[in-house]
Structure 1
Amino acid sequence: MSYLDRIRTCHRWDPDAYRPFMIEDVNVGRVTHAMARRLRDFPDVFEVSDRAVTLVPELAEPAERTAAVHEVLLRLRAAGELPLWRDEEYPVVLRWGDPPLMTMERAAVPLFGVRAFGVHLNGIVEKADGLHMWVARRAQTKQTAPGKLDHLVAGGQPHGLTVRDNLIKECAEEAGIAAEAAARAVPVGAVSYRCERDEGLRDDVLFCFDLALPADFRPVNADGEVESFDLWPMQRVMETVRDSDDFKFNVALVILDFAIRHGLLAPDDPDYQEIWEGLRLSE
């Protein structure tokens, strides 16, 4: 195994297995050919051709689109085709900050290959022997990636919250970090990827933050989604990323971004350029 294995996992998908999902003239996602055939059952909402799936032009306003698609999703859920329902709306946009073309139930976002956004926090403690990172182990009851290693704080970016407000909310729920402490988290960029997962096509942008924490900080989970926390030296973090898939797949990408920014991976590494290029989609 290698760091490149983690990168390649985040970019593994077959473009020929999908056709575009369009709203107006905007390609906002991708659906499998099988899903496209299923959507032919809803002609009042979708126009399905061999080349694309398009919302019907009569759905001209974001609220109309949201309501019409939501009814379809409820029927798919009732048929057992959308099992991981979240009751959480995501904006349908290509770039964060654009006016949403509609909103969509979170569980359906990968089914339609729509871009999703999230926040990931590197919780860092600097000791005499170097940098350490707080590592969470996801609860076995999590719908996705149960038992995998995770960041101290990470979560999806719902509609109706700013990125900063969402980060502060997630900090409180996942690690018991007070709002005034969470507000000191430094935005350091983003990673992005597109890959096939069990839930569908993940097309994600993750906003990354670093937060320096005191040596006596102890995280406390409040939402039941974390089994345990451990403070690891960065060498152990990096070895685990390199030698196993114990970390949730996208967490490894954010850690590699952190490693490059902090000089833990250097240009003399023979895979350095490919790792660096793989942290973000090229399109």
Structure 2
Amino acid sequence: MASGVCSLGLTLTSLLSSHALARHVVLATLRWRSISISMSPPLRISRALSSAPISSSSFTWDDVIETGRAEYTTPQYSSDLTGFLQKVDRCNRGSERFFTEHLREFHDIFTFAQNGSCRDRVGDYVTLNPMFQKPEDRTRAVADVIKILADKVIIPGIRNELYPVKSSFNAPVLFSLERAAAPYFGLKGYGVHMNGYVERDGQKSLWIGKRSLAKSTYPGMLDHLVAGGLPHGISCGENVVKECEEEAGISKVIADKAIAVGAVSYMDIDQYCFKRDVLFCYDLELPEDFVPQNQDGEVESFKLIPVAQVANVIRETSFFKANCSLVIIDFLFRHGFIRPEQSGYLDLYRRLRNGDCS
């Protein structure tokens, strides 16, 4: 995936004027305590979902197909959306641990609030030292901190990719941050996820990818046909076209037909990581004879599976990369596989957009 875009939370930056924001960059990471306490309703996470990620060798395409073929009918689901709710809750966990304690030794770079009206309103918070007035100065200063924390394995998996940090999606860039460090600072990330589907004889099927075993994250798990972080300086639509070619060998002529259909969001607080993502969702109807061909080595194989069977796999297993489940559940809503008559319909719909989508 390419480098992407991150943003600071509006709940923090709205407390400062735009002039003040240019001098004091407020990081979202110190609000974890108030966020984890105020989340409502409590998250319901099964033992299977809260355990370590499933091993890449734990399932095969045969397991996926066998699970998917279990009967899927509207009456069966009229009183049971629990499996879908669990997958959404998996992306919206809470925690009481604080990454910011690791920043206190860097007192020449970060400033911690001790008192004042801002503290009274939002709790503890941290800002970058106002001596760093230019984006490039802030970028260099934070990069030095991240290198030290990476050497201590406090921030693992350094990718050497920079995320531009903004107060919101359309705001100016305040500084740039190593991609792997973004969740530790509570910064919002943006990406694009595309459902590639085929309609044949009135039945829709989704192309599903199985991630390469060589991937550093979620190896061997199920994924969308196309997905990726949003690089700086490229539009969502342009990024979809680029990712279509790299991940599935989809030509620009076909990729240009992808339809923007909305966004889902989540806030996953896992130990020191506060992952706040907004995923822009796209649908692309593909020709019946189209067969995807991975170009960048990130996908092991693809399988065309009826949508109803994909839904069953999401409901019954943890085979999918967690955030992919949210985008596919949104697809199920829009294409009539989940209906208002089903118990929990509105609750599930609301949870697909948990938190700020700005």
What's the TM-score once normalised by structure 2's chain length?
A: 0.71
The structure with higher relative contact order (CA 8 Å, sep 6+) is 2
Aligned to 1:247: 320
- 2:164 corresponds to 1:86: no
Aligned to 2:24: none
Which protein has the larger Cα radius of gyration, Structure 1 or Structure 2? Answer: 2
Structure number having the greater helix percentage:
2
Percent of aligned pairs with the same residue? 43
Aligned to 1:204: 277
**Contact (CA 8 Å) 1:36, 1:48: kept in 2 or not?**
no
Shift of 1:180: 2.1
Look up the SS of the partner of 1:77 in the other structure: helix
Aligned to 2:19: none
| Whole-angstrom CA distance in 2 between matches of 1:103 and 1:130 | 45
Aligned CA RMSD, in angstroms, stands at 1.6
Give the letter aligned to residue 111 of structure 1. Answer: Y
Give the letter aligned to residue 55 of structure 1. Answer: L
Shift of 1:94: 3.9
Give the letter aligned to residue 4 of structure 1. Answer: L
Give the letter aligned to residue 155 of structure 2. Answer: L
**Contact (CA 8 Å) 2:211, 2:221: kept in 1 or not?**
yes
Deviations along 1:1-53, one digit per CA (max 9) or x if unpaired, are 61110111122114xx3xxxxxxxxxxxxxx52x2221122122111346122
| Whole-angstrom CA distance in 2 between matches of 1:197 and 1:187 | 30
Q: How does 1:264-275 map to 2 (within 5 A)?
A: 264-275=337-348
| Whole-angstrom CA distance in 2 between matches of 1:94 and 1:147 | 35
- 2:109 corresponds to 1:45: yes
Aligned residue-pair number: 266
Look up the SS of the partner of 1:253 in the other structure: helix
Deviations along 1:60-87, one digit per CA (max 9) or x if unpaired, are 2222111111121122222322221112
**Contact (CA 8 Å) 1:103, 1:159: kept in 2 or not?**
no
Structure number having the greater strand percentage:
1
Going from structure 1 to structure 2, the CA distance change for 1:247 and 1:126 (only over 3 Å counts) comes to same
Question: Runs of at least 4 residues of structure 1 off by over 3 A?
Answer: none
| Whole-angstrom CA distance in 2 between matches of 1:251 and 1:95 | 23
Aligned to 2:89: 8
Aligned to 1:124: 197
| Whole-angstrom CA distance in 1 between matches of 2:284 and 2:210 | 19
Unaligned runs of 5+ in 1: 18-31
- 2:186 corresponds to 1:105: no
**Contact (CA 8 Å) 1:89, 1:158: kept in 2 or not?**
no
What's the TM-score once normalised by structure 1's chain length?
A: 0.89
Deviations along 1:224-261, one digit per CA (max 9) or x if unpaired, are 11111000001111001111111111000001111111
| Whole-angstrom CA distance in 2 between matches of 1:45 and 1:179 | 45
Give the letter aligned to residue 109 of structure 2. Answer: V
| Whole-angstrom CA distance in 2 between matches of 1:72 and 1:190 | 33
Return 210-219 or 176-185, whichever deviates more.
Answer: 176-185
Unaligned runs of 5+ in 2: 1-81, 115-123
